[in-house]
Amino acid sequence: MSCGEESVGWIVGESSPTRSLVIFSHDSKLNLSAGMYLVTETSRGCVLGILESLVSGSRLLPSSVTDPNSVNSVISAINQNEMLSETYLKGSVMWLSYLDALEKGSIDSPKVPPLPGTIVYSAKKEDLENIFSPNDKGWIKIGKLSTVDVDYKININKLQRHLAILAVTGGGKSNTVCILSRNIIKELNGTIVLFDMHGEYGDLGLGDKANIRKPVINPVKLSFEEIKDLSRLPENAINQERILRHAWSATIKDFNNNKINVANFMDKFYENAQAERELAKNKREVDGVLNKLDDIKAMYDEVLDPNAPLELKDIIEPGKLTIFDLSEFDEIGADAVVSHFLRRLLQERKLWKKTRSNGYPVPVFTVIEEAHILIPSKRNTLTSYWASRIAREGRKFGVGLILVSQRPKNVNSDVLSQTNNKIILKIVEPQDIEYVQDASEELSQDLAELLPGLNPGEAIIIGSMAKLPALVKIELCNSKKSGGDIDIVSEWSNMNENKEFLEEDLKSVF
């Protein structure tokens, strides 16, 4: 009994336990394409591999040919099947695991190379279904294998080792976030926080299982670093930072001693900052701080809301999708808000694990859109700090990190490299591809070369959440509010039509 379905070719040249070159038969009825799964035999047993690359050629049309007439005659003969034997199709296969191990739910990387001349088969559909579409609890479907009609599922328990979703604009990032979030909430009653930089997500069809919020923070829950971030103090403003810290510490002390309440917390903070002026030798430095606090009042008064819930579970409800709409925020405001909730989630999950009574009661995934802005590679942000902490510690406490970006090379490498899982859609820019490769142990050069040619919604998926590397067509999520390019022609047309209607209405009135 053969390892696979249909014979497609033979191994040629030298083989290693991990890779072989295959020459494909002219008789194969399969539409061969990169990303499909093949099997062959070794002395240890049947082994499954993925076709990483595919090249075609003709011995009669080498790259050195210079005569157009000879090209035409060869093409004519090939089209008439007279010289089909002079053409060839070759591909590189990466061997992934022995089939018997995969049938038992584990992975056993090949240790024995297949011999030259060994027949290569297409993988059986039932084997692929067993590998990529298990019925085990905790696996959710996000699409289908691109080369065969087999549902593709990921292991959500392994998603705790963090995930990066990467692609060019229009490559399908937000659709992937949508289908992933929706299915986790609907099928597993999970908890997700999505930081939406552009206000492009609706309720994803989840109804009362989704909350779309404008971020509000009770000021008593702010850290000093967050208030400093909002105040926009320069890094080298040491004296002004000292003044701000002294006023903040005095306010926290007053609150803890019940001298003030939540409602007048910020007023007392401003009052304490003004009191610093009476003690300071350099009045201008205090005036500078006061000006910064006036800016906070003007720009973030709606965010720092004394009526906001104090308990984190009242803001981020367990078992639901919470979407923070950051579309009206500048980068500094967004950084302060995102870092605030990342910090509190990590701290409260640690507390819950320790006490089982206080803290945030359930594991949670945090989705950070535009990660290259909030977690940049060339400057420090508060979000970078807390995202890095979660990347290192989060899986032990049930806080997962999902980064989304169209510019991987601009994302902090320390954080990106700690995302064990990757969903990589179309990427064109060579530096971005190289950067992703450096951060991904399982992304081979041949697979990386497929990235520029992927169709929208197609992705290479690697990591512990997936049993094996796969080329996947992500399921379409029709519940997302927006995110693609706007139809500017239609909007111009509607504007002109509305103008004509308005003019007609005015004529009828006058």
Residues 85 and 147 placed together within one structural domain of the fold: no
Please count the structural domains in the chain.
3
Residues 201 and 262 placed together within one structural domain of the fold: no
CATH code assigned at 182 = 3.40.50.300
Asked, for residue 388, whether it belongs to a domain, the answer is yes
Q: How far apart are CA 466 and CA 502, in angstroms?
A: 57
Q: How far apart are CA 164 and CA 104, in angstroms?
A: 28
How much is the pLDDT for 84? Answer: 57
Within 13 Å, how many C-alpha atoms sit on residue 89's CB side? 16
**Last residue of one domain, picked from the residues 131, 155, 186:** 131
Q: How many CB atoms lie within 10 A of CB 433?
A: 21
Asked, for residue 496, whether it belongs to a domain, the answer is no
Label the pairing between strands 37-41 and 119-122: antiparallel
Asked, for residue 507, whether it belongs to a domain, the answer is no
Residue that the structure tokens 């300071």 belong to = 280
**Last residue of one domain, picked from the residues 98, 131, 164:** 131
Residues 39 and 176 placed together within one structural domain of the fold: no
Domain that holds residue 76: 7-131
**Last residue of one domain, picked from the residues 302, 318, 339:** 302
CA angle 339, 416, 194 (to 5 degrees): 45
Sheet with strand 163-166: strands edge to edge: 151-155, 139-145, 470-474, 458-462, 421-424, 163-166, 399-405, 364-368, 192-196, 321-325, 210-213
- The DSSP secondary structure of 368-434, one letter per residue, reads ESSHHHHSBSSS--HHHHHHHHHHHHHHHHTEEEEEEES-GGGB-HHHHTT--EEEE-----HHHHH
Contact 463, 470 (CB under 8 A): no
Asked, for residue 126, whether it belongs to a domain, the answer is yes
Query: For residue 401, which amino acid is it?
Result: L
How much is the pLDDT for 58? Answer: 82
Q: How far apart are CA 459 and CA 110, in angstroms?
A: 25
Asked, for residue 505, whether it belongs to a domain, the answer is no
Which residues, including other chains, have CB under 8 Å from residue 329's CB and lie 6 or more apart? 215, 337
pLDDT tens digits for 315-357? 999 999 999 999 999 999 999 999 999 999 999 999 999 998 8
Structure tokens that stand for 506 in this block:
């005015």
Contact 348, 360 (CB under 8 A): yes
Asked, for residue 498, whether it belongs to a domain, the answer is no
Q: Within the chain, what is the greatest distance between any pair of CA atoms?
A: 98
- CA distances (Å), origin 244, targets 226, 232, 252, 301: 12, 12, 12, 18
Q: Which residues of 8-18 are buried (b: 16+ CB within 10 A; e: fewer)?
A: bbbbeeebeee
Residues 434 and 468 placed together within one structural domain of the fold: yes
Q: How far apart are CA 180 and CA 164, in angstroms?
A: 12
Contact 289, 276 (CB under 8 A): yes
- The DSSP secondary structure of 109-155, one letter per residue, reads ---SPPPTT-EEEEPPHHHHHHHHS---TTEEEEEEETTSS-EEEEE
> Where does residue 358 fall: left (phi above 0), alpha (psi -120 to 50 degrees), or beta otherwise?
beta
Q: Which residues of 163-193 are buried (b: 16+ CB within 10 A; e: fewer)?
A: bbbbbbeebbbbbbbbbbbbbbbeeeebbbb
Residues 224 and 362 placed together within one structural domain of the fold: no
Asked, for residue 427, whether it belongs to a domain, the answer is yes
Q: How far apart are CA 134 and CA 402, in angstroms?
A: 23
pTM (two decimals): 0.90
Residue that the structure tokens 């009191």 belong to = 275
Residues 122 and 243 placed together within one structural domain of the fold: no
- CA distances (Å), origin 426, targets 149, 189, 370, 450, 465: 21, 31, 16, 9, 20
Residues 210 and 292 placed together within one structural domain of the fold: no
Asked, for residue 92, whether it belongs to a domain, the answer is yes
Pick from 22, 48, 49, 51: which is nearest to 450 by CA? 51
Residues 386 and 414 placed together within one structural domain of the fold: yes
Structure tokens that stand for 466 in this block:
């997936």
pLDDT tens digits for 193-250? 999 999 999 899 999 999 999 899 999 999 999 999 999 998 889 999 999 999 999 9
Residues 429 and 409 placed together within one structural domain of the fold: yes
Residues 477 and 381 placed together within one structural domain of the fold: yes
pLDDT tens digits for 240-279? 999 999 999 999 999 999 999 999 999 999 999 999 887 7
Q: Within the chain, which residues score under 50 in pLDDT? A: none
Q: How far apart are CA 368 and CA 387, in angstroms?
A: 9
Residues 104 and 153 placed together within one structural domain of the fold: no
Residues 24 and 64 placed together within one structural domain of the fold: yes
How much is the pLDDT for 83? Answer: 59
